[in-house]
Amino acid sequence: MWKKFKNSSILKEFKEFAVKGNVIDLAVGVVIGSAFSQIVNSFVNDLIMPLIGRLTANIDFSNLFISLDGKSYKDLAAAEAANAPVLKYGLFLTNVLNFLIIAFSIFLFIRQINRFKRKKAEREAEPEPTTKTCPYCQSSISIKAVRCPHCTSHLEEEN
């Protein structure tokens, strides 16, 4: 049975899939994504959130909740300790805010990368042509020529 499986087309296809780089590319993408995620999270938590906290007079959104049992609790931890059903809208707002900050941070990062790509493309742009082809003898001649040096034909000026 093992020989049959070892020689099967599925195993051969999987080997091709893994060896061609798809799996390796995916693994590299996951590792780099994980590292980039740590950078973005640090940017948000260590740089942006303290500024937002300062601007909002240190309001802690994570402690905003509505108790569904009608009782009043000091904070979310006390409500959870009492096993009270709660709507944690503050945590939801915090997660939405984190998402928006992360999305905007990634946008700025990608925007800068695209700028670098455009500058590189501009440097590598194809130079203006210096020659043209004679319509009569098909020879390559100067773009400024009004008469072909090979066949001596008069060339029409292009407007």
Could you tell me the pTM of the whole model? 0.51
pLDDT of residue 87: 92
pLDDT tens per residue, range 89-115: 988 988 888 788 878 878 888 899 889
**Length of the chain (residues):** 159
Q: Which domains does the chain have, with CATH numbers?
A: 8-127 (1.10.1200), 128-159 (no CATH)
DSSP strands (E only) in 52-120: 66-67, 86-87
- The span from the CA of 89 to the CA of 67, in Å, is 11
